[in-house]
Amino acid sequence: MSSKVIQAMYNDDDILMSAVKETRAAHHHIEEVYTPFPVHGLDKAMGLAPTRIAIVAFMYGLCGLSFAIWMMNYMMIQDWPQNIGGKPSFSFFYNMPAFVPIMFELTVFFAAHLMVITFYMRSRLWPFKEAENPDPRTTDDMFVMEIGVDGNEEELTSFLKSTGAVEIKITEKH
């Protein structure tokens, strides 16, 4: 890939969607699309692979459930068994109904917190990281589509103007 990109700016999400579809149909590689709000169906229009986030969340939930079972068994059965409410203190199975809320809460706790950490690491959002926003207007009312330039600047510029771009800039990729 080259170090230059063309940034085509659009002022409507419907125009952006049709431009993304036309750009993909013309076999141009879209580097990134910046939007001020989530645009439904943009990931499919860009041809992005489906996410595996649900599988990861399930695995994190299983870790939380396993930790809850181990923790309650250790604390309430092995380390410090107590007779609370007439329940037998020698079996995890007999005490299971009382442990269900704790197991549920730790499952949700682990899944939620580990998913946030995974999101930050996957998105490379480290503390004190500078913003990678190409234009401040993309946080307000503009949509930007970045396309890599391979020596076809004039052709690509005219193509993007025909898709409804209101502004086109050629910049260095960062």
20-78, pLDDT tens digit by residue? 999 999 988 899 999 999 999 999 999 988 888 899 999 999 999 999 999 998 988 88
Q: Which pair of tokens denotes residue 47?
A: 């041809």
For residue 174, name the pLDDT band (cuts at 50, 70, 90): low
Q: Is the pTM of this model over 0.95?
A: no
Name residue 136's beta-bridge partners.
none
| Contact criterion met (CB below 8 Å) for 146 and 31 | yes
Q: Where are the domains of the chain?
A: 4-50+129-172, 53-122
112-146, pLDDT tens digit by residue? 999 999 999 988 888 888 887 888 888 888 999 99
Domain covering 4-50+129-172, topology: Alpha-Beta Plaits (3.30.70)
